Amino acid sequence: MVISMPRGTQDILPEESRKWQYIEEKLRKISSDFCYEEIRTPMFESTELFSRGVGDTTDIVQKEMYTFMDKSDRSLTLRPEGTAGTVRSYIENKLFAQTIQPQKLYYVGPMFRYERKQKGRYRQFVQYGVEVIGDESPKIDAEVISLAYNIYKIFGIENIKVSINSLGNPEERRAYNEALIKHFEPRIHEFDEDCNNRLYKNPMRILDCKVDANHELVKTAPRLLEYLGEESKAYFAEVLRHLDALGVKYEIDHNLVRGLDYYTHTAFEIMIDNPEVELKTLCGGGRYNGLVKLLDGPEDKKGIGFALSIERLLLALESENITLPIDDTIDLFVVSMGEKAGDAAVKLTNDLRLAGYKAQNDYFDKKMKAQMKIADRYKAKLSIIIGESELENDEYVVKDMESFNQETVKRENIIKYLEEKLRGEK
């Protein structure tokens, strides 16, 4: 029986992997430009970290986590998201004591959720995310949203919009939750089982329900903004003012609550405005002022962040017919004729690689015509030909694979020649 990959996972083959490499390198460059530094946390953590940090009432904790007992009878979980682990690391490694605050961090790595497989949604998926932890400011909120927004713009995706809402502080949320319970309670039996379970545990999540999103009670539910105090309203207004200054297009979505329990104040999603795309949400995030304290860190340290799925970014690029400028060529293919020339080709290929060139040679002593065909398949810019006469004369024939022009180059001058030819150095 052929062993297949687990359901909900994918093999990313070389041709597709080039796209991933390009995207990840681009994300790292953008992060650096915005002065974010990379953090790498374990792929599995204590289960308690996610049950406390993400929230017992969330779908992630209740239904989607990959949890197991290790040999010491400890409950561990493959990370379903990146924020909780980043905050745990921030606390454990005392990053709050660093002279530069807030700490501006980013990560790229696999996450794991036991979800129903569909296009753009996998049980192992890759997230890029940022977290700004330490201080609170509307300017920080606007910067984080602007970073997420501009990532898609930089990749050429123009048909996007930011949905944004304020979730207020914990006291305002409690008052709002009470209002929602009164609103939904008389007819909660009309909703699905998940919404019934959320009514008393986390009624705001009913607004986030995908099954009953068009129910009239969802559309007529009280608005959270009506329950915000003056301070929260002023904070939200300042975030919007900064977004206006940064040129970020947004719309206020009164039903946007996000799926995680730790959010406070600013919450946002970036949506693709394309009717042909089934999964509209590309990215989501928000402020989590109480999470550091919840995980036993300093009470005054607050954070905000977002995460995006690279799988969904690839789908968005595809839907917008955007081709990534990926260079799939190599610099050089070394062609050899004869046993001695073959040995010399192995040595030359290695020298070229160590000099920083993408180089390949023939392994199987094929005829010259066959080797040139292989060079074409590799999309080589140049081929270097070594035969008996070239060995005797201590030289190489260098052929331009596009123009077919050939030049003879002395062996000791080959690196200098290639620097001029391929790198424009003199």
Residue 226 · residue 180 · CB < 8 Å: no
CA 117 to chain CA centroid, Å, is 19
At residue 366, φ and ψ (nearest 5 deg) are -75, 165
Residue 42 · residue 159 · CB < 8 Å: no
Q: Is 83 annotated as a binding residue?
A: yes
The number of C-alpha atoms within 13 Å of 163 and in the hemisphere containing its C-beta is 16
For 94-200, strand residue ranges (E) read 103-112, 124-133, 160-166
Residue 181 · residue 200 · CB < 8 Å: yes
H helix or E strand, kind and range, residue 318:
helix 310-319
Q: Is 62 annotated as a binding residue?
A: no
Q: Is 81 annotated as a binding residue?
A: yes
Distance CA 412, CA 416 (A): 9
Residues 6+ away with beta carbon under 8 Å from 238: 138
Q: Which residues pair with 111 in a beta bridge?
A: 125
Structure tokens at 223: 């608005």
- CB crowding 149-179: b at 16 or more within 10 Å, else e: bbbbeebebeebbbbbbbbbbeebbebbbeb
By the 10 Å C-beta count (0-12 exposed, 13-18 middle, 19+ buried), 84 is classed as: buried
Residue 259 · residue 269 · CB < 8 Å: no
Q: Is 262 annotated as a binding residue?
A: yes
Which DSSP string corresponds to 190-210?
GS-HHHHHHHHH-GGGGGG-S
Distance CA 64, CA 62 (A): 6
Q: Is 103 annotated as a binding residue?
A: no
* Residue count of the chain: 426
From 349, 354, 411, 409, select the one nearest 380 (Cα to Cα): 349
Q: Is 127 annotated as a binding residue?
A: yes
Provide the pairing of β-strand 281-287 with 303-309: antiparallel
Instruction: Enumerate the known binding-site residues for L-histidine.
Output: 81-83, 113, 127, 131, 258, 262-263
Binding residue ranges: 81-83, 113, 127, 131, 258, 262-263
